[in-house]
A and B are shown apart, each in its own frame.
Chain A
Amino acid sequence: QQQVKQSPQSLIVQKGGISIINCAYENTAFDYFPWYQQFPGKGPALLIAIRPDVSEKKEGRFTISFNKSAKQFSLHIMDSQPGDSATYFCAALGDFGNEKLTFGTGTRLTIIP
Chain B
Amino acid sequence: DVKVTQSSRYLVKRTGEKVFLECVQDMDHENMFWYRQDPGLGLRLIYFSYDVKMKEKGDIPEGYSVSREKKERFSLILESASTNQTSMYLCASSSAGGVNEQFFGPGTRLTVL
Interface size on A, as a range, is 20 to 34
Find chain A residues with CB under 8 A from B41 CB: 105
A49 to B101, CA, bound (A): 10
Checking B35, B96, B103, B106 against A99 with a beta-carbon cut-off of 8 angstroms, the contacting residue is B96
**Number of residues from B at the complex interface, CB < 8 A:** 27
Question: B56 and A32: CB pair below 8 A?
Answer: no
A-B contacts besides A46-B101, A104-B42, 12 pairs, CB < 8 Å: A6-B42, A32-B99, A41-B106, A43-B92, A43-B104, A45-B103, A45-B104, A89-B43, A100-B33, A100-B48, A101-B102, A105-B41
Q: In terms of DSSP, what is the predominant structure of the interface of chain B?
A: strand
Question: B105 and A43: CB pair below 8 A?
Answer: yes
A residues near B (Cβ < 8 Å) are 6, 9, 32, 34, 41-46, 49, 89, 93, 98-101, 103-106
Interface contact tally, CB-CB below 8 A? 50
- In the complex formed, the residue of B with least CB distance to A6 is B42
Question: B42 and A93: CB pair below 8 A?
Answer: no
- In the complex formed, the residue of A with least CB distance to B95 is A99
A82 to B102, CA, bound (A): 26
Question: A44 and B42: CB pair below 8 A?
Answer: no
A105 to B94, CA, bound (A): 21
Find chain B residues with CB under 8 A from A89 CB: 42-43
Chain B 79-113 per-residue mask, 1 if CB under 8 angstroms from chain A, else 0: 00000000000101010100111111111000000
A103 to B33, CA, bound (A): 13
A104 to B40, CA, bound (A): 10
